Amino acid sequence: MLDAHNGERLRLGLRPLAWSETLASAAREWAEQLARIDDLEHSDNSDRSNMGENLWMGTKGDFTPEEMVDGFIDERKDFTPGTFPDVSRTGDWADVGHYTQLIWPDTKQVGCGIAQNRQSEVLVCRYYPAGNVDGEQVP
């Protein structure tokens, strides 16, 4: 998963992320909660101070971890460089929010966790420091 993140960052000339087991552990815990409720919702900001969070859900066994991260990277098609939140060709930053967090220039660390239930797999990635900050430039 780290290679999938850093491949895109390096393509853009950005500093690679370092893996954080602390972030990964927290991400796994949240992924397990989401798998239990079989739904996606972001954790409380108070539970992840200055950490960004990307969520993904798909059919159990149908995706590799790299393909899960590629789901974030696929948002690149709607991304346009600019000042956040004005970074989407669609006019809605949420259409590119996973991607912009992944390529956020100030982010230094990532940690991800996967959990599953009978039918779904859930990926949670946590980023430090958080991206998607209003008024900041995205390359």
For 60-98, the three-class secondary structure string (H helix, E strand, C coil) is CCCCCHHHHHHHHHHHHHHECCEECCCCECCCCHHHCHH
Each residue of 102-127: pLDDT tens digit? Answer: 999 999 999 999 999 999 999 999 99
C-beta of residue 42 within 8 angstroms of C-beta of residue 53: yes
pLDDT at 47 over 90: no
Interval 30-47 mean pLDDT: 95
C-beta of residue 17 within 8 angstroms of C-beta of residue 9: yes
pLDDT value for 46: 85
What percentage of the chain has pLDDT greater than the value 90? 96
Does the pTM surpass 0.85? The reply is yes
pLDDT value for 61: 96
pLDDT value for 106: 97
Average pLDDT value for the chain: 97
Each residue of 85-94: pLDDT tens digit? Answer: 999 999 999 9
> CA-CA distance, 97 to 137, in Å (whole number)?
14
Each residue of 54-69: pLDDT tens digit? Answer: 999 999 999 999 999 9
Burial class of residue 76 (count of CB atoms within 10 Å of its CB; 0-12, 13-18, 19+): middle
